[in-house]
Amino acid sequence: MLYFVSTPIGNLGDVSLRALEVLKEVDFIACEDTRTSLKFLNRYGVKKPLVSYHKFNERTAGEKLIEELKAGKNVAVISDAGTPVVSDPGNSLAERLVEEGLEFTVIPGATAFVPALILSGFDAKRFMFVGFLPDKKSEKRNALEELKGVNATLIFYCAPHDLEDTLSLMYSVFGNRRAATVKEITKLHERTERFFLADGIKEEEPRGEYVIVVEGGKTEDPDLSLSVSEHVEKLVAEGLSKMDAVKKVAKARKMPKSEVYKLSL
């Protein structure tokens, strides 16, 4: 049997009793970084052999895990923090386990996007977890364009070095929606910032992984599912002057006219 086991994302006290039971019973544990995992495992007296399983060896290491399972071994897979497979290694392994007809299960627990959704204060009845966006700006913009009409709260993961550019790009695609960033979840310095995308956030030196939560698109006006530039172009094509189109878009999106004009160039 293979177990995908959730581990704490910050506060080590968040581990479940069942997770500890499983980790102490399996034959060995596959983890992203043995040094990181040892800090957690040693805290709870888990003494099991560790093998490396990360995004750079995911397929080859995954096949070795399958061989061990076929030999009758019980295996636990953990990530550095949170739930394996969700923006962490494990997805290809789950697919292969299904293909091979091998038994596996999940020991649920901590993951960052659910607390962030709650802390944002946005609609939690309908939400879409996106995870990390592509690294290339053009691909990132395309991904956001595909999401602009989604009538659900959107949740992203973002590295600190990419935070400012990502929020700026979101503003250019989504318009002036409400957003929130959450960092250090469950840790001593947990912090939530709520703002409009036009304002951004004031981070002198962003550190640590961020969760970005963005208000979903509204379905009442289909034009709001367009990007700002597309919205202006549509109104011009319908006969409005460029300046009148800019004014109308600014009013509909609650954005400064100067910003709309800049984004429409």
**In the chain, what are the domain boundaries?**
2-107, 113-214, 222-264
- pLDDT surpasses 60 at 30: yes
End-to-end CA separation in angstroms for the chain: 58
Measured at the alpha carbon of residue 215, what is the angle toward residues 210 and 216, in degrees to the nearest 5? 120
| Per-residue model confidence (pLDDT) at position 193 | 95
User: Residue 235 corresponds to which tokens in the numbers above?
Assistant: 């109104």
Assign 63 a pLDDT band (cuts: 50, 70, 90).
Answer: very high
Per-residue pLDDT at 208: 85
In this model, does residue 204 exceed pLDDT 80? no
Q: Specify the higher pLDDT residue, 48 or 229.
A: 48
30, containing H or E segment: strand 28-31
State residue 253's pLDDT score: 84
If phi > 0 it is left, if psi is from -120 to 50 it is alpha, else beta; for residue 228 that is: alpha
Average pLDDT value for residue range 161-183: 94
By mean pLDDT, which of 59-63, 178-182, 253-257 is the weakest? 253-257
Name the phi and psi angles at 212, rounded to 5: -105, 125
**What is the CATH topology of the domain spanning 2-107?**
Cobalt-precorrin-4 Transmethylase; domain 1 (3.40.1010)
Question: DSSP character for 7?
Answer: B
The model's pLDDT over 114-145, given as tens digits with 9 standing for 90+, comes to: 999 999 999 999 999 999 999 999 999 999 99
Residue type, 45: G
Q: How far apart are CA 32 and CA 199, in angstroms?
A: 37
State mean pLDDT over 1-13: 96
Predicted confidence (pLDDT) at residue 221 exceeds the cutoff of 80? no
Phi/psi of residue 255, nearest 5 degrees: -120, 155
> Please, is 82 exposed, middle or buried when counting C-beta atoms within 10 Å of its C-beta (0-12, 13-18, 19+)?
buried
Phi, psi of 235 (to 5 degrees): -70, -35
Class in CATH terms, 113-214? alpha beta
